[in-house]
Amino acid sequence: MVSKAIFLDRDGVINKSIMKDGKPHAPRKFSDFKLFPGVVEAIKNLSDAGYLIFVATNQPDIGNKLVDPNEVEKMHAYLMEKLPIKEIYMCPHRQDENCECRKPKPGMLFAAKNKFNIDMSASFMVGDRYSDVQTSLAAGCTPVFVDHDYLETPDFDVNMRFQSLVEASARILERLERK
């Protein structure tokens, strides 16, 4: 059976990023890991509508030795406990390692596609960085941009641009109802 999926970036979509000089950074301690309001219900609604839910996250602070991998594991265990997530895909590599899993390359999304028989044309990638949009396009799914007005974000066109995952999920569900 072919499935449809929602791929979610982690930091800035599900949980709050730590802002430094207008640039978002992943929390480095579990105690700093805070979900955005409404994301639990929004993700549950997407799952209840028949979407498989995945997290696809770059975590270069692991490869850069700036965060203890056990802290990241606590964050991911918390997400798996609280949310109907099928699987979390994580790239722990440094930015300069040129791996196949680091967004904007679509490796994490293709790993889920192959494992769970996902129809990418019926799927969405929700992210808050331009690299998430690039990943979505490279994987063949619809990009959904959560715009936090970061200083680093280039100007680009995307049809689905929202202020939060809550708003994005409502629009995705509206589109589903119209079909």
Cα distance between residue 155 and residue 139, in whole Å: 21
Is the preceding peptide bond at 104 cis, omega within 30 degrees of 0? yes
Identify any residues that bridge with 20 across adjacent strands, giving them in sequence order: 23
Determine how many CB atoms are found less than 10 A away from the CB of residue 109.
26
Report the CATH number at residue 155: 3.40.50.1000
Question: Which listed residue (11, 61, 128, 132) is catalytic?
Answer: 11
pLDDT tens-digit profile of 118-146?
A: 999 999 999 999 999 999 999 999 999 99
Structural domain boundaries enclosing 14: 4-178
Report field, pTM of the whole predicted structure over 0.85 = yes
pLDDT tens-digit profile of 10-67?
A: 999 999 999 998 889 999 999 999 999 999 999 999 999 999 999 999 999 999 999 9
Question: Which listed residue (9, 61, 128, 132) is catalytic?
Answer: 9
9 counts as catalytic: yes
11 counts as catalytic: yes
Inter-residue contact 52 to 5 (CB < 8 Å)? yes
DSSP 3-state of 34: coil
Residue ranges of E strands in the chain: 4-8, 18-20, 23-25, 51-58, 87-91, 124-127, 142-146, 161-162
Residue 179: the pLDDT is 64
Lowest mean pLDDT among 12-21, 113-122, 168-177: 168-177
Six-digit token string for 169: 């999920």
Lowest mean pLDDT among 18-22, 109-113, 127-131, 161-165: 18-22
The strand pair at 51-58 and 87-91 is best described as parallel
Residue 83: HSE in the Cβ half-sphere, 13 Å Cα cutoff = 30
Six-digit token string for 9: 């970036």
* pLDDT of 160 strictly over 70: yes
Q: Number of folded domains in the chain?
A: 1
